[in-house]
Structure 1
């Protein structure tokens, strides 16, 4: 590496604004590596956690990619997409199996069946559905195992260690970038919501679910990378940054609440699609019971959708929207500077806001 290259590395490594970016990247990388053994055992929780960590890393590379060389960002993003695709179908089927137990009481039906107790047709169809989805899930084991090996391999470690070794060619982000990015994501989500209201369908509601997810991850990144950890006192931290962190944390909680409601609806939709596929290949004796299960799923889907609609009317209301826009716009703005007549700080130091130099 030449002298100029060493200068760029040293400059970035010493840049305090890069430290939280690197810490966030490492936290997600470690989360994925920590779950690798359970992933190899095909633990549903580990599959979910690895997918979430991979999405957060992709969001970080999207939002903070200028810190890194573009070629390495692209390689890392492609690897993360491979991980997500490798686990996506397995995760869907794991959720379907869980819903069969919680929504359709398949677990109880299976116990009665093993005990030889009398059971209604719908219970028998529930067991048929359960076994069919278990067979679908078994076909995804190889994809999960490939992903587990990928996480344990040198390639995964090398690609992400390289991101910390060389600086990109662009200047660091300023605080305006954070406010602008969150604002754009928020406006895009509002547009997607109104598109769904105008043309309600599973597809448009799915787009809204993704919009919530993207905005939430973006806000989480800037909460960590631009506002820092309020629990760790620092000279540059002041009451303004602590309040900004609190406001953004509350907004993230609201996004998560909406995302959870949409996720619950989406889970039932995925299970229904699987059941429709199963019905097409089911023996004639199983079809009446399977159709009864479809009706129960339709009721569950309608109930969960209603819960989201009720929440969305408040979340996207005019007053709430105006307040959120104002909050995002003011979040990274520095408070007015004190004039010369004001009393200086007791320690004689200057008060700098959290957004200066970011």
Structure 2
């Protein structure tokens, strides 16, 4: 009896032209998959070096040497740019000569001060007498008489004045030496600033000068960075920053074809008042190969977690220009358009709208079926 009934249904299908499409036996009714996930925002970002500095000229002059071109690597301490310092070297030689002269002056002034302490000029019997008398008579007679009876001569006061004069000469000589030494230190610092060295192991990222260029203080020379480790830098809307913490891991995609993860490394404390965004840096894994400047995307959590709907990719209606599925209602199918979200891999896709969590759909519908079609009973 069953065989006759099946044959009759098949015959009627042939007569009416509605036979079962090829592949109908593989179609089945399945529920919509529900999963609790957190909505995410996808933001554009840029691959940047782990560390990056811009070296600028500290003194005016002509560029004498550039160590290499863009892409050249150097160890910490290597010379990158050399500015001609011949004029500074000439000034240094002149100041060095001044220091020698000043040192001689200090030595002579100190000797004169010591001499005044040991052998005061006020008591020198060979010096010109105070009253135009013979030196011995002047010291023993005239000066004693003037000091005792007239109060016009005090050899202690005169000796103190001579000592102070000698001490002042020593201090002046020492001041001249210190001034010359300070000039020498200033020139040494300027000569040191003529050479720009690598602050750390890294690579030249860009050059702004060439050999022979004349530069002024503050003018950029080159950009240097550490690229063994890389970061992503993104301007995050201030509303999303509250959901980020240093150390948390987020999904990332490099150059639209390489999926990886990134760890929040730095969140700037201030927001841009014009765009209302905050700069955030993310550390990439050490084994990720990406050229600085490459476009990247970061997936940041947005708000609280919510239920998301997923369906197999095979449930999508074949031959339709817009994504659609067959929804089972009251024992019949209805064609319904859906809006798709994030691709979950090879098998599943997220559905943003068009379906409810309680609905059922037909998986792997054959080509050419229409609303109302149902898979044959197994």
TM-score range, shorter chain: under 0.3
Query: Which structure is richer in relative contact order (CA contacts within 8 A, separation 6 or more)?
Result: 2
TM-score, normalised to structure 2, is 0.18
Radius of gyration: which is bigger?
2
TM-score, normalised to structure 1, is 0.19
Query: Larger % of helix: which?
Result: 1
